[in-house]
Amino acid sequence: MNPEHADSTGRPVTVLHVSDDQWHAVADGRVVGRADAWRRPDGRTFVSVDAWDGPVFDRLADTLSARLPTPLYTLVDDNDQQSQESWRRLGFTAYRREWQYAVPTEPGTTGLNALPPPSGLTVLPAGQAAADPLRALDRVIRAEVGATVGWQSMPAEVIPLPDGVTVPDPSKCAVAVQEGRYVGLLRLAPVPRQPRIGLIAVLADRQRQGVARALLAHTLSALHRSGVARATAEVSESNHAARELFESIGARRVGANLELVRS
C-alpha cells in the first residue's frame, strides 16, 4: 500500500518502497524525493532524505520512522538550520558534533618530520601490507573500540561492511609495524584534489607513543610529494586526543556535521 499525500503545490505524492533500504516519493510520474537507510559497523541505523519540497521531506522522513526500528540517526551540516529544523520537527534531537578539518601536507607546516618515530617502528605504504595480518589488526582495533569509547565516537561515514569483511580495501591503508607486529593503520580515501583521512587507529597498548603521528607523517609527506597541498579529516567533538593531534600539526576547522537521533 502506498499512501498518497500532497506536496506544497497540491500535487498528489506517492511513497514507493523501491528496495530494502530505499524509498522514492513520486508525483506526476516523476521522482521528487528519495530516502535511504544504512547500518554502520556498530549496528546503528542512519537515514537520509533528499527532497527540496517540505511536505515531501516530511512524508519521506515519516515513512522512515514508521518502517524502521528506533533509534534512528541522521547527519546534517552544522550550519544548515533549515535541515536541522526539518528533522527536529520529526522528533530528532542533537546527539554529537563532528568537526571537519583541512590538514596541510607540507612537512615544514606540520612539523611531523622533526620528531623521530617510535623506536623500531616503520610504516608500510598503502598497498604494501600483507592482507591477513592487516585484517587481523582491523578486527582487534574494532573490538577495542567497541569495548571502550564505542563506534559512535568514530567518523559517521565509516563504511558499513558485509558480515565477515573487515578492511574494505587494503590498498588504501598505510600500516605501522613495530617489532614485527602490525600496531596501527591509516586509511586514506583518494578523493580528487583533497584526499580524506578516513580512519587512524592504533592498538590500545601502543597508543600515546607516537604511532599515529608516524602514520600521519608518512601519509602527509607522500601526499605533499605528489603535489597535494591539503587533505581532509573528520573528528568527533568529544575525541579530544584526535582533535589535539590534528590541531598540533596545523589542521584548521572548516566545518562541522551534526548527528541527530530519534529514540
In a domain, residue 66? The reply is yes
| Band (186; pLDDT cuts 50, 70, 90) | very high
In a domain, residue 217? The reply is yes
Total number of domains constituting the chain? 2
Output the nine-digit C-alpha cell for 253. Answer: 576547522
Residue 150: per-residue pLDDT? 57
Same domain? 111 vs 35: no
pLDDT in tens, 129-158: 998 899 899 888 888 877 765 555 555 444
The DSSP bridge partners found for residue 122 are: 177
pLDDT in tens, 221-244: 999 999 999 999 989 888 888 899
Query: Which among 39, 50, 69 has a CA at the least distance from the CA of 156?
Result: 39
Range of the domain at 11: 4-99
Angstrom distance (rounded) from CA 30 to CA 18: 14
